[in-house]
Structure formats: structure tokens, C-alpha cells
Amino acid sequence: MCRVYRKIGGHAYDSVYPGPIGAVLSPLLEGRERHAELPLASSLCGACSEVCSARIPLADYLLRLRAEAVETGMGSMAWSAGLRSFAEVTRRPRVWSWRARRRAGASSLRPQRVGEEGPGPLGVWTRTREFPALARQSFRRTWQRREPGD
């Protein structure tokens, strides 16, 4: 199952249908404008297609809905700008590492419970959802410290 929906489900995004199937069905049934962000919330790892008992190619549909959102300009400008920024950071390993080391400072900005608003755009999200705790140690650091043979 998709790592994104395993943690937060579809209801967090105002969809009756949870998970990747909801990210496909909700935009089609209730309007693409209303649920334009749902297909963007998936990691597109393909796990949803692999575990679907009805053999629905969910990842393919999510990709198609994403492409349509881009073509029609439905995606929000803030979301697009955020993804472009993320892409730029991930293309530069040194910048990525520097940002990852600085993430601990961001945890102090994190709301502690639902209803407690976070800063800026985070406040809209945290009114109805709990912000997940940040890992104490980065994946890279964990990988470096693992025992040989693990």
C-alpha cells in the first residue's frame, strides 16, 4: 500500500473514499476541480496497483489525472512552486544533506495536536490533521550507522 495513504488515508483530504482508489474516484465522481490535489498526494510507487484485488491499474490512473491537472492548469500555483523547489533541492546532494541536517529546527514549529495551527500554509493543513513527528535521525544517518550484514 502507498506510504502516503498508509499514514493519512483519504479522509484527511475531504474524500469519502480512502487511499489511492479515492484519489482516482473522487476527482472523477465529485469533480476534478474539487479534488485536484488527490492524485498528487501519491508517491506513485505502484504498490497500490500491485495489491489491488480487482487489478485496477491505480498508479496509471493517478499519473493520467496528474497529467490532466497540469495540462488544464488545475493544480495550485503554491503546490507547483513547492514541487519545483523540492526538485531543485533534490538535484543537489549537498543542499539536500544540509537541509536534512537542519530539519530538527523545524520540529519546534510543528503543532503538537489537531486544531493547533502551524505557521503559514501549514496552518490550513493542521486545523484538521495532526502533523506527523519528524524522525529523530535521517535515513542517511541510520544507513551509515547500520551493522554490516543488516
Q: What is the pLDDT of residues 12-53, one digit of tens each?
A: 566 777 778 888 998 889 888 888 878 887 778 888 888 888
- Whole-model pTM: value is 0.54
Mean pLDDT taken over the chain: 76
Residue 72 pLDDT > 60, yes or no?
A: yes
Torsion-angle region of residue 131: left (phi > 0), alpha (psi -120 to 50) or beta? beta
Q: What per-residue confidence (pLDDT) applies to 62?
A: 92
Q: Which string of DSSP letters, residue by residue, matches 33-46?
A: TTTTTGGGGS---S
Lowest mean pLDDT among 2-6, 57-61, 91-95, 134-138: 2-6
CA–CA dist 132, 147 (Å, integer): 28
Which of 72, 93, 122 is the C-terminal boundary of a domain? 72
Do 54 and 36 share a domain, yes or no?
yes
Do 109 and 63 share a domain, yes or no?
no
CA–CA dist 133, 108 (Å, integer): 10
Angle between helix 58-72 and helix 19-30 axes, rounded to 10 deg: 40
Number of structural domains the chain divides into: 2
Closest CA to 23 of 4, 50, 42: 42
Domain that holds residue 84: 77-145
